[in-house]
Amino acid sequence: MSAATGRTKRRGDALSKERIVEMAIAILDTNGEDALTFRALAERLATGSGAIYWHVADKDELLAAATDAVITRAMGNGVRDAKPLLGIRAIALAVFDAFDAHPWVGGQMGRRPWGPAMLQIYEGIGGRLLALGAPKRALFDAWSVLVNYILGVGGQNAANARLLSHEIDRTKFLANVAAEWARLDLAKYPFVHQIATQLREHDDREQFLAGVDLILAGIGTLRQAKARRKRSIERGL
């Protein structure tokens, strides 16, 4: 989107892994996952399809590199917040927004859970939990929940976005789903029935952030002993 770098035919500079990856990202963003083929990539780079294999092992590596690039870039922006809690929220939103801007990324996470992009997220969340002074035993649990939630929701949400992009009208589609849900048997689906209306007006991003806050609140309860916690859950609800 940002740079109109040498579109169809011209060859500004030599081929490089970086150029290939950038072009791949552009194709993925603009035309979706199915549009990323070695042939399309080669044409846009004004080269032969085989040339790409000199710089990239295969499609798997290409996708992984594209994902790494997107996440690294997202983590670079304003995620250096000093306050731990705000930093965690900032990371969560950075990941969410990256997934939103590049809907194909969601499906790629987890493909290389030990890549450099993942490491940044792991440390970004974990380091701040450390700074918060989270109890040692609970630290791993808390970290795991946060990371899994952030990556997981991002993925689900991106999948939804991908789906809805095919629909002409997002609100119309959601209205249809809500209407269908409202028609369900009230006795069998009391809950779905009830939230059918809220579905239409809810904001995914706000929803996501509310989830992060809820988990942070849960982490706050972790210092209590296990037995006490269990009772407090029952009481709390």
- Cβ count near 156 (within 10 Å): 14
What is the Cα–Cα distance from 38 to 25, expressed in whole angstroms? 13
Smaller CB separation from DNA, 17 or 229: 17
What is the Cα–Cα distance from 205 to 211, expressed in whole angstroms? 10
What is the Cα–Cα distance from 101 to 83, expressed in whole angstroms? 26
22 binds DNA (CB under 7 A): no
Q: Among residues 3, 4, 9, 50, which is the contact residue for DNA, using CB under 7 A?
A: 50
171 binds its own copies (CB under 8 A): no
- Alpha-helical (H) ranges within the chain are 17-31, 38-44, 52-55, 59-76, 84-101, 103-108, 116-131, 136-166, 170-182, 190-201, 204-220, 226-236
Q: Among residues 20, 45, 71, 216, which is the contact residue for its own copies, using CB under 8 A?
A: 216
In the complex, minimum distance from the CB of residue 45 to its own copies, in angstroms, rounded to a whole number? 27
User: Which 8-state DSSP code applies to residue 113?
Assistant: T
Contact string (CB under 8 A) for its own copies, positions 64-93, x = contact: ---------------------x--------
Sites of contact with its own copies (CB under 8 A): 85, 107, 109-111, 113-114, 119, 122-123, 126-127, 129-130, 132-134, 139-145, 148-149, 151-156, 159-160, 163, 177, 180, 184, 188-192, 194-195, 198, 202, 207, 210-211, 213-223, 229, 232-237
Sites of contact with DNA (CB under 7 A): 14-15, 36-40, 46-51, 53-55, 58-60
